[in-house]
Copies of this chain bind each other. A is one copy, B any other.
Amino acid sequence: MFDYLIGEGMEAVEETLEQVVSTDIETLQDASVHIITSGGKRIRPRLVLLSYLACGGKDLADVYDLAAAVEMVHTATLVHDDINDHSDFRRGKVAVHKKWGRTFALLAGDFLFTKVYELMAPYGNPYNVMMSQACVKLVEGETLQAHAAKTGEIDREIYKKIIARKTASLFEVSMIMGAARAGASDEVIESMREYGYNLGMAFQLVDDILDVIGDAEEMGKPVGLDVAQGRGVVVAEGVANGSGGYTNGAPAAVAQQLEDDDPVKKMMDRMRDSGALELAKMQAAEMGERARKSLKPLAESNIKDALDELVDMVVDRSK
Residues of A within 8 A of B (CB): 23-25, 27-28, 77, 80, 83-84, 102-104, 106-111, 113-118, 120-122, 124-125, 128-129, 131-133, 135-136, 138-140, 142-144, 146-147
Contacts and interface: CB of A to CB of B under 8 A. Distances in A.
B146 A117 contact: no
Given A28-B143, A118-B133, 16 more contacts: A23-B140, A24-B140, A28-B139, A77-B110, A80-B106, A84-B103, A107-B139, A110-B139, A111-B143, A114-B138, A116-B117, A117-B128, A117-B131, A120-B128, A121-B128, A124-B124
Contacts of A120: 128
B27 A143 contact: yes
Number of copies: 2
Chain A facing B: main interface SS: helix
Nearest to A102: B84
A25 B144 contact: yes
A200 B121 CA distance: 25
Nearest to A114: B135
Given A25-B144, A27-B147, A147-B27, A132 B110 contact: no
Contacts of A121: 125, 128-129, 131-132
Given A25-B143, A128-B128, A136 B118 contact: yes
A107 B139 CA distance: 7
Contacts of A111: 136, 139-140, 143
27 contacts: A28-B140, A77-B110, A84-B103, A103-B146, A104-B146, A106-B106, A107-B142, A107-B143, A109-B110, A110-B139, A113-B113, A114-B132, A114-B136, A114-B139, A117-B128, A117-B131, A117-B132, A117-B135, A118-B129, A118-B132, A118-B133, A121-B128, A121-B129, A121-B131, A122-B129, A124-B128, A128-B128
A25 B33 CA distance: 33
